[in-house]
Amino acid sequence: MDNLNLEELFNQYKQSVYELADKLPQWNSEDKNRVLDSAISSLFEEAGEIAGIISKKRIRKDYWNAEEKQLYDYKEIRQKFIDETSDFLWVFVCSCHCLGYDSIPNLEHFNDVRKEYEESTTTNFNHILFDLICDITAFHIQASYADGFAIVSTLHDIAYTFGLFLAALEDKYDITFDVLIKYNLSKLNVRYDSTTGKRLDGKE
């Protein structure tokens, strides 16, 4: 895996997500409402986990506007972002796959968004995450109307804003896309049985 380029790594990662998702009842159900609800609730859940890091580790502390890399618990915060952001990545790739939109999370798109972030002078790390939650809310609203075109549009919005967040994450915490992928793959390999999809850590 270390010798793969990023595109190959991402494609391998997506295939791993698809294989596991297809074994999990909430994601491969014939009841499409269940799949939609799984996508919406899971996206909110994982975005909320990231928001919790921002709240507890960036806003509540006495270094509200401090340089991140100078913080005494920088490594701890960085690891928490790796953990939770990789979970969001998994859920987003899974949601797109199970709803029939495999092409939405693509590396070319994320790279284009990264260029936009690098050229921006007003991008706020915290606010990007807040915007991502707004995009998920819009996805929830459009899904309730069962409007296929609008659902696709809001998934693209989520991909765009998440791409901005990934660029900000690399800028602030030196967390690259391949780090997230490799971390998530290693975590899932010990959490789930690759044959049955059942959890191995005793959790539901």
Residue pair 114/166 in contact (Cβ under 8 Å)? The answer is: yes
The span from the CA of 203 to the CA of 60, in Å, is 30
pLDDT of amino acid 72 = 73
Q: In 3D, which of 41, 17, 43 has the Cα closest to residue 180?
A: 17
The span from the CA of 2 to the CA of 147, in Å, is 41
State the angle between helix axes of 32-53 and 74-98 in degrees (0 to 180), rounded to the nearest 10: 170
The span from the CA of 113 to the CA of 160, in Å, is 7
**What's the pTM value of the predicted model, to 2 decimals?**
0.88
The span from the CA of 82 to the CA of 176, in Å, is 9
Q: Where are the alpha helices (DSSP H) in 69-176?
A: 74-98, 107-119, 125-144, 148-173
How distant, in Å, are the alpha carbons of 24, 158, 186, 191, 200 from that of 204? Answer: 12, 27, 19, 11, 10
pLDDT of amino acid 123 = 82
pLDDT, averaged in runs of 10, over the chain (204 residues): 77 93 92 93 98 89 65 87 97 95 88 88 88 96 79 93 95 94 82 56 52
